[in-house]
Structure 1
């Protein structure tokens, strides 16, 4: 279940970081992914290089580094809501997997403060 939440989170983050390229994710249903452990785990494994990726998973994986390192700076307002919801959902379901995700894409922890601020404020 925790893995799926992380996968969903990653999906949202990736979709949000590149607003021009991934507008189709503006209305992404984060709740449905967070609540489906199988799907969440699949996305998590994809972005963590622990399993196969779907087309969406590959797209999310491409933009996830930028999304996390910029705290969703290039995201549209709708995408920020989705990314924030996914990240908070993943964190609530599995703090260790959430931290593993952050460590993979921001190993030097250069943007943790900005990312946590984004999670708290949405800005």
Structure 2
């Protein structure tokens, strides 16, 4: 009986220790199959996502998830992102740099006005091929 109680306590402690802590949590991969390229190539869809993020329009479930985690993802350089999400972020950033600099500047002004996160993040994701 004594061994069973000891085993139960050790097992419970192991489970609790292994549970993800808030800092270790990753963003959901539920929407990792969203085709980022098709959104970026469709002006109407892209505008809907931008309006969602800016709080000027309705959000899809994917847009709401993005909006909810955007500031955190910028500030932690997408540390909680899956590899697929990191690739998507790099694609979107590159697209905005080349084709929608006004949108990128607006997002930077709101989420990274001093450019501190951008500098660190650019260095961190430079070796992700798209």
Question: If the TM-score is normalised by the length of the shorter chain, which range does it land in?
Answer: 0.7 to 0.9
1:95 is displaced (CA, Å) by 0.9
Q: Alpha-carbon deviations, 1:36-74, whole Å to 9, x = none?
A: 000100110111122222222211100000111122111
Give deviations 1:23-44, integer Å, cap 9, x for gaps.
1222321110000000100110
Contact 2:31–2:62 under 8 Å retained in 1: no
1:5 corresponding residue in structure 2: none
Unaligned runs of at least 5 residues, structure 2: 1-24
The answer to which of 84-93 and 101-110 deviates more is 101-110
Contact 1:84 / 1:118 at 8 angstroms: preserved in 2?
Answer: no
Instruction: Please give the alpha-carbon distance, in whole angstroms, between the structure 2 residues aligned to 1:88 and 1:119.
Output: 12
Check 1:22–1:32 CA distance in 2 against 1; reply closer, same or farther (3 A cut).
Answer: same
Gaps of 5+ in 1: 1-18
Indicate the residue corresponding to 1:71 in structure 2.
77
Q: Structure 1 segments of 4 or more deviating over 4 A? A: none
> Greater relative contact order (Cα 8 A, min sep 6): structure 1 or 2?
1
Q: Does 1:88 align with 2:88?
A: no
Q: Which of 43, 50, 56 is matched with 1:50 structurally?
A: 56
Preserved contact between residue 27 and residue 81 of structure 2 (Cα < 8 Å): no
CA-CA distance at 1:100 after TM superposition: 0.6
Counterpart for residue 15 of structure 2: none
Partner of 1:110: 116
Larger Rg: 2
Compute the TM-score of the two structures, normalised by the length of structure 1: 0.73
